Structure 1
Amino acid sequence: MTQSYVYWISTALLSLLYLASATMYLAKRAWVVQALTDLGYPGYLVPFLTAVKLLGVAAILARVSAPLSDLAYAGMFYHLLLSGLAHLGVRELRGALPAVVGVVLLVSSFATQNIARETPSPYAPFAERQTSLN
């Protein structure tokens, strides 16, 4: 029961982090383009990143298929990892904090997904436990 709460709370907070980021990308586009340029990335990535963030949240929350959800988790992991490293690369430690928080939430959500969801992921740590209970 506790692990089910861990899943839903971490998934909700991760989703809010990504939705807030996508909203900021839409509302403050010029500032985001400048921030990405300062990190060494081209500004034309903003629309693509906005769409991917929204679609990733939708894939995890809707869970139409476990493989699609796992792909969204993998994409978010690499995005958060590269985002944190980009901020550390320019010695902007405060900018890396959301990425660190996001990785913690992502790992918590991914590790407990099979306890809270009916369709198990074969890649999550508790895959055997969930399927053996059925």
Structure 2
Amino acid sequence: MRRLTVIYWICTGLTALLMGMGSIPNILSSADSIALFQQIGYPTYLLPFLGVAKLLGVIAIIVPGFPRIKEWAYAGLTFDLAGATYSFLAIGAPVAVIASMIPGFLVIAGSYVTYHKRRKAKISLSLEV
């Protein structure tokens, strides 16, 4: 159980770092974020919305409890990353840019899978007592 917890917190911490660091420039509508959105062809008014949504998702996966909210948060973070990947594919971004999304998917999946394994293990332990 200890090993599983360590893996969970490493993956969750990396997910929080990745998505949290990406949310700040979006919330602030930084010049780089605006330029990226214009390159992709998205309206810049979406920036703060996506930034706040990502930040709320990060908070939801870090705060203990609230399993249903965590499910939605993991889905939202995955959809955000999938949408970014598809957007880069649609504009013909270099393969390196698209490949750079893979670690994001891996840490989100690692966090999600280990979250459920830990939860199942805790339920099993409580039933044994």
Give the TM bin, normalised by the shorter chain.
0.7 to 0.9
Give TM-score scaled by structure 2 length.
0.84
Q: Percent identity?
A: 27
Q: Hey, what does 2:113 align to over in structure 1?
A: 111
- CA contact 1:80–1:100 (8 Å) conserved in 2: no
RCO greater where, 1 or 2, for CA within 8 Å and sep 6 or more?
2
Does 1:131 find its partner at 2:123? yes
Paired residue type of 2:91 = V
Paired residue type of 1:81 = A
Equivalents in 2 of 1:114, 1:133: separation in Å? 14
Q: Is the partner of 1:67 in helix, strand or coil?
A: helix
Ranges in structure 1 where 5+ consecutive residues have no aligned partner: 121-126
Deviation at 1:28, TM superposition (A): 6.0
Deviation at 1:24, TM superposition (A): 2.7
CA deviation map 1:26-83 (0-9, x unaligned) = 4562221221121122111001011011101111101341000110001111111111
Does 1:33 find its partner at 2:46? no
- CA contact 1:10–1:106 (8 Å) conserved in 2: yes
Deviation at 1:87, TM superposition (A): 1.0
Q: Runs ≥4 in structure 1, deviation > 6 angstroms?
A: none
Give TM-score scaled by structure 1 length.
0.81
Does 1:71 find its partner at 2:72? yes
**Higher deviation after alignment, 85-94 or 63-72:** 85-94
Equivalents in 1 of 2:72, 2:90: separation in Å? 27
Ranges in structure 2 where 5+ consecutive residues have no aligned partner: none
